[in-house]
Amino acid sequence: MDPHTVHSSVFYLLAIWGFVTSILLILVIYRSQLSNREGDQLFLDSAEESMASEQRAIVSKIEGITKPINALGWVSGVLLVATLGMWMWNAYLSFGRG
C-alpha cells in the first residue's frame, strides 16, 4: 500500500472519528441536562399529575437516548483504534523506506 494512500486514509478516519465523537459529546451533554431536570423522588397528589407526566417524559427521553450514546461510544472507540492502527502502519512503511 502506498504511504500517501495510508496517510490520506488516516486523515479521513480521523475526520470521521471527530464527527462521531462530536455527536456523542452533544448527546451526552443533552442527557446530562435532562438528568438535571429529573427529580429523584416526587410526592404528588392527584392535582399535580401534570408534573408527574412531565417527569415520565423526561425519564422516557433519557432512556431513549441511552442506546444511541452506547452505540456511538463503541463506534468512536473502534474508529479511534482503526485510526491509531493506520497511523502506526504508516509509520512502519515510512520507517521501512527511510
List of long-range contacts for 74-77, beta carbons under 8 Å, 24+ apart? 75/20, 76/17, 76/20, 76/21, 76/24
| Grid cell at residue 98 | 527511510
Which pLDDT band holds residue 6 (cuts at 50, 70, 90)?
Answer: low
pLDDT of residue 98: 54
Neighbours of 20 (CB within 10 A): 19
Cα 75–Cα 20–Cα 61 angle in degrees, nearest 5:
90
Q: 75 or 4, which is more confident?
A: 75
pLDDT of residue 1: 56
For residue range 31-88, list pLDDT tens digits in order.
999 888 776 655 566 667 777 788 888 888 999 999 999 999 999 999 999 999 988 8
